[in-house]
Structure 1
């Protein structure tokens, strides 16, 4: 953990002029496709989480009833979380930086949810970003890359914007900037939360052959959720091997059993496309069972039904994930 030095905000004699780094100090960092950097600035911090829970300030910093500092409004979001930190030249002001970001966000169709500057942000607003966002070694490079967020923390501006992407999903953007003070550079911190479904299939609880047999005996069918495909693809992923092995064992234990292998999708996308996709996925399962597990393909028949037989509502991602499945149906 970086030791935070809440330095005095008075100009000290003998201050060395801060110099812009010759280039970005971050390895593998990149600007977000939604929002370019302020012209002339250098990236000094970068982070990406494909899915995370994020709190974005949406109000001023206040002292709560129990004496703790908090925000009078905040957003708790989930989704793809990207954050970037930049240094910008001393010749530019935090006001100019913020006005440029605001104009760019408005042009992209995002609306301002909350904005503040200096005292209107509340007491300790800059301290929060220093300690909770740009601290803990997030800033990469020399100490001078981190100094702007320390020295300029009481000359801050903040903007939170919200918008909708073409696919209908929400995106939130928070922009925090600190002014160049005491001959330090200016600082910009941007965080973007894009609403998205968490990737399923990272942890699976596969039915074994005995469970599959019981399901077929009781209901004439059984749903298998351990067979995975990439989005809009038909090749069976390697992570499916455990489920496929149990399917093969089921067939080996009952030589007379014949099955329909039925592919199901959620309701997203065109129905005709999903019918073809689900059919080809079912066919892929049979091909793998025959080629790698020596199952007689004549005992299996592929059917694709797209979203015609949902197991849950398609209105929410949890239901859609349940609908994306392979079923074994007794012939």
Structure 2
């Protein structure tokens, strides 16, 4: 009996008890964690904003689904160096086509573009590598609950001869109108029904990412796609609409920031 108790005690001494992740916390689907680390805290928000640092060393505000995951080294493990943590995450993102936008002693900022999703990652190390935090934002538009209605569109056209529509959506580098554009398209059709003498130029605009010729072509195809939906689905007479694409030639904001480029990607209705 004494022997059994002694053996049990020795076995307990040699068991390695891993530190447990905080309740409800898990790794982000894109990234695994450093070996011998556990998650001590986490938070996820469906839509939030955060400042990241771009290649020019300037802060840029990004909006979308936000993750915060804080890691700490297991109590029985030797922590890696801070540079080892930063290099591991940088190499992982670069291997799948991402880029490093900025780095200093304890931080690295990474960016990954896949399809119509842009993922921003900030890795921050602390306590000489014993801990590190991940701040991740999957950039996306917020679900738009409020859409400019036909009356406000008519008012803008009366005052300025045009109205910018930001509720018409396309996938990256494509000209297919996305289903979530329907509320705005309904209001445009209503605008034309309420104003039977109003004829419009539908003008596509882009940011300055890519070549001039590609952006001109893309903006033209997007304008034509909007007219296609309005005429085939909403019964608008195609004689009242004419498509033009001007690419990046008429910006609404500087193209130097992500926010500015987002403002420049739009469709405008211009009175003929």
TM-score range, shorter chain: 0.5 to 0.7
Identify unmatched segments of 5+ residues in structure 1.
1-13, 56-75, 114-159, 180-187
**1:191 corresponds to:** 133
Q: Where does 1:80-91 land on structure 2 (aligned, <5 Å)?
A: 81-83=67-69, 85=71, 88=74, 90=76
What is the match of residue 254 of structure 1? Answer: 195
Q: CA 1:189/1:236 → structure 2, altered by over 3 Å: closer, same or farther?
A: farther
Q: Which has the larger radius of gyration?
A: 1
1:155-166 superposed matches below 5 A: 160-163=106-109
Q: Which residues of 2 match residues 272-287 of structure 1 at below 5 A?
A: 272-287=213-228
Q: How does 1:8-157 map to 2 (within 5 A)?
A: 17-20=15-18, 29-30=27-28, 32-33=30-31, 37-39=33-35, 48-49=44-45, 51-53=48-50, 79=62, 81-83=67-69, 85=71, 88=74, 90=76, 92-94=77-79, 96=80, 100-101=84-85, 104=88, 111-113=103-105
Tell me by how many angstroms 1:285 deviates. 1.0
Unaligned runs of 5+ in 2: 1-11, 53-58, 95-99, 114-118
> How far apart, in 2, do the equivalents of 1:22 and 1:208 lie?
52
Tell me, in whole angstroms, the C-alpha distance in 2 between the residues paired with 1:103 and 1:257: 59
Of 244, 258, 262 in structure 2, the residue corresponding to residue 317 of structure 1 is 258
Residues of 2 paired with 1:84 and 1:43: CA distance? 6
Contact map agreement 1:204 1:226 (CA 8 A) in 2: no
- 1-side partners of 2:120 and 2:161: how far apart? 41
Distance 1:82-1:32 versus aligned 2 partners, 3 A rule: farther
Compute the TM-score of the two structures, normalised by the length of structure 1: 0.56
More helix by share: 2
Deviation of 1:170 (Å): 8.2
Contact 1:31/1:37, CA 8 A, preserved across alignment: no
Offset at 1:266? 1.7
Per-residue CA deviations over 1:171-221 (Å, capped at 9, x if unaligned) read: 542235799xxxxxxxx653233688x644533643322332233333332
What are the superposed Cα offsets for residues 140-170 of structure 1, whole Å, 9 maximum, x if unpaired? xxxxxxxxxxxxxxxxxxxx22356599x98
SS of the residue corresponding to residue 254 of structure 2 reads coil
Q: 1:173 aligns with which of 123, 135, 145?
A: 123
8 A contact 1:84–1:191 mirrored in 2: yes
Shift of 1:231: 2.9
Task: State how far apart, in whole Å, the 2-side matches of 1:98 and 1:177 are.
Answer: 9
Cα drift, residue 272 of structure 1: 2.0
